[in-house]
Chains A and B, each alone.
Chain A
Amino acid sequence: MPRNPQLNANGELQHLLSIEGLPRALLVQILDTAESFAGVTERDIKKVPLLRGKSVFNLFFEGSTRTRTTFEIAAKRLSADVINLNVAASSTAKGESLLDTVANLSAMQADIFVVRHGSSGAPYLVAQHVKPHEHVINAGDGRHAHPTQGLLDLYTIRHYKKDFSRLTVAVVGDVLHSRVARSLIHGLTTLGAPEVRVIGPQTLIPAGAAALGVRVCHSMNEGLKDADVVVMLRLQNERMSGALLPSAQEFNKQYGLSAEKLALARPDAIVMHPGPMNRGVEIDSNVADGPHSVILPQVTFGIAVRMAVMSMVAGGG
């Protein structure tokens, strides 16, 4: 069997491309390491010298504010130099290929490429072509994966619920277009969460969903019952073509998270959302800002998780 392209010969993380295929011990190691970095982010001086002298290139072929910013903060807290490139607006527009862009940045002495791309698999292509000392972190590729978001979701769940072994997790909404959902589901099943449900209209649930080890529900009543964790997904208007939904209002009525629907979940349930939120579409404001919401802590945890991933890939010979 060919080696997992994310791991080196010693089984250590070399690139982070997808949660799928990462062994459980490695996922736990990332979460534990992030936990230590969370301590750093609570200090007055939120910086450690690990990546001093290293360069992190944020290579975003697709728009992003939260992910790009938290990667930038994480790299800076590790003392790396960060270069943000809005590639979509420059080289690519002039016709440069993805690999040529990367080769040029490599000539500027890069150590880590953080890549977001609209095409699934683009970070894999980059990882196949970088030099041995260069590392690739997938910051979201097409509909495929968003592993650091998945990891920060796992970190958030572990932070509030401590243990995955008895959890019921409901992932609600536009699962079809969601790389976040895919990454989280792989992580949850690897870490042993016994019940993962996906809830949404038939048109927004991928055909092979059940093969991922999840239970598919088409009603909130069924899907939210006794859930410990409710993960709301953004309705991705920009990725929708054709008539997948009658209207956003109709979606809100059926699948939007209101306080009444949330009452079906456990009284201590947490509500998560990867952002950006469409208030009044997939989530009501009183839930997003309510006592069950851990949406803003997710953002904070994302910094520690990205510090952990960057310091794990970039260390060693």
Chain B
Amino acid sequence: MTWRTATSAEASSAAGARTAPNTDPASAGSVFAAARDEEAIRGLVIAARSGDEAAFVSVYRTYAPDVYRFCLARVGRPEDAEDLLQQTFLRVVEALPRYEDRGLPFGAWLFRIARSVTVDQHRRRRDELSLDTEGGEPNGVPPAPLALDLGDREMLLAALASLTPDQREVVRLRFFADLTARECGLILGRDEAAVRALQWRALAALRRAMDSTPPAPAVRHVQRLAVT
């Protein structure tokens, strides 16, 4: 099946006017190209909640690439990000009947679920790792030396590792999940101005991290990526 099939068009027409999402990964470079039409999304969500399959597919295709980017920015491994994307939408299916539009944009609701799914997975992994590493390095393998040929993705993840947790999260939500400052604020429990200030500090810290020698957290992150 090629991406963006007729089903997408059917879904769009079934649900009324709607900005076509850019769901083609190959053309996602310009993105976050199509601004989300909140009204149309709301209509799709209501239709999906009452069992409209085409509307659900439309919602999925609108958000799935961003959910994947967000998850990948959190976990670093594409296979884990794919798994988290699946888990996120499975949980959306479960929770959709309970979704109520009370001024909370659907995107904020969805990424709350995505965050929760990644946090759960991180906890599970940490527990597993703590069992695996009891009495030594994982599987007895010492940390690998710093990789010399890491791609930009790994390098950016390493730089992100040097930020504070809040700064990291605002970068992920704003630039990987493509949420607005208001939506980020609803997720992080801050107002819009605070999100913008946090973002400003995060970008400045990211620039410093990239201009300087790699800070210790970044080195550890790169080592972990090299091992995994």
The reply to whether chain A is a binding partner of chain B is: no
A positions within 8 Å CB-CB of B: none
